C-alpha cells in the first residue's frame, strides 16, 4: 500500500463542511478535474444519515476519477459507502478500534501535532499522518500550530508518509520544501477559490515541483 499511497497523498483535497450538497458535488468534481490525488469528505455539522448520503454521492464522483475517498472521523460512514479509509484525530475513535472495524486493507490516517503523537500513531498501525496546523486556518477553532521544525522532526522519526495541513495555499507552500513531507492537504485553498479546478491545478503543479512528480 505504501508506495501507491505516497503517490495518492501528493495533493490531498479536504472539503469544506456544511457546503450545500449540489455545490459540494460540483466542487468535488472540479477539484478532481484539477488534479487532486485523494479527497477527504469532512462533515462536522450534519447527522449521520446526511453524512452517509453525502458520502455515497461523493464516492461516485471519486470512483469516476479513480481517486480514493477518505471519510473524516466516522468509521461507520466509511464502511457504509465503502470509502478507501478514514482520517481520525487525537480525540476521535482510537486507532486500534478503527483498524478492527475497517480491516487491514483500508487506509487510516491520523492527525499528529508533535513527535509523540506521530510515533504513537505509527506504532499503532496508522498508514499516514496529517501534521498541522502549519499556518493560520479558519477551518478549526483555536488551532494548535505546528512549526516547520516540528514538522521536519516528525518526518525524520517516522517511516510512514506525512502530509502537512493547515492554511496551506499557493503563496506559502514553498516553505514546506525539504521538510520530508510527501504532499499537502488543502481545504480553503481549493474549496474557497473562485475557480476550484484552476486552484487545484495550480497547487498540483506546485506540489509536483516541490515533492516530486507523480504518475496519477
Q: What is the pLDDT of residues 190-199, one digit of tens each?
A: 999 999 999 9
More confident residue, 90 or 161: 161
Say what the pTM is: 0.96
Task: Specify the 3-state DSSP secondary structure of 61.
Answer: helix
Give the residue-averaged pLDDT of 128-153.
91
Contact 10, 181 (CB under 8 A): no
- For residues 201 and 67, give the distance between their C-alpha atoms in angstroms, rounded to a whole number: 15
Reported as type and span, the H/E element at residue 138 is: none
Taking CA atoms, 4 is separated from 13, 117, 173, in Å, by: 17, 24, 23
The domain over range 2-211 is classified in CATH as 3.40.50.720: no
User: What region does 171 belong to: left with phi over 0, alpha with psi -120 to 50, or beta?
Assistant: alpha
Give per-residue pLDDT as tens, 100-126: 999 999 999 999 999 999 999 999 999
Q: Please identify every residue annotated as catalytic.
A: 42, 111, 140
Which residues, including other chains, have CB under 8 Å from residue 178's CB and lie 6 or more apart? Answer: 152
Amino acid at each position: 500500500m505504501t508506495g501507491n499511497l505516497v503517490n495518492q497523498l501528493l495533493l490531498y483535497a479536504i472539503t469544506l463542511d456544511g457546503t450545500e450538497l449540489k455545490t459540494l458535488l460540483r466542487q468535488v468534481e472540479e477539484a478532481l478535474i484539477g488534479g487532486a490525488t485523494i479527497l477527504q469528505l469532512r462533515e462536522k455539522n450534519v447527522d449521520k444519515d446526511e453524512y452517509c448520503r453525502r458520502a455515497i454521492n461523493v464516492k461516485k464522483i471519486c470512483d469516476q476519477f479513480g481517486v480514493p475517498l477518505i471519510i473524516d472521523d466516522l468509521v461507520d460512514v466509511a464502511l457504509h459507502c465503502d470509502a478507501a479509509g478514514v482520517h481520525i484525530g487525537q480525540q476521535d475513535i482510537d486507532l486500534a478500534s478503527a483498524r478492527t472495524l475497517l480491516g487491514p486493507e483500508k487506509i487510516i490516517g491520523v492527525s499528529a501535532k508533535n513527535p509523540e503523537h506521530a510515533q504513537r500513531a505509527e506504532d499503532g498501525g496508522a498508514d499516514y499522518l496529517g501534521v498541522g496546523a502549519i499556518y493560520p486556518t479558519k477551518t478549526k477553532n483555536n488551532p494548535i500550530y505546528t512549526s516547520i521544525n516540528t514538522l521536519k522532526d516528525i518526518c525524520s522519526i517516522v517511516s510512514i508518509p506525512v502530509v502537512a495541513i493547515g492554511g496551506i495555499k499557493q503563496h506559502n507552500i514553498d516553505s514546506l520544501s525539504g521538510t520530508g513531507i510527501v504532499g499537502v492537504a488543502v481545504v480553503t485553498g481549493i474549496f474557497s477559490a473562485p475557480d476550484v479546478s484552476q486552484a487545484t491545478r495550480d497547487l498540483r503543479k506546485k506540489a509536483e515541483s516541490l515533492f516530486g512528480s507523480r504518475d496519477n
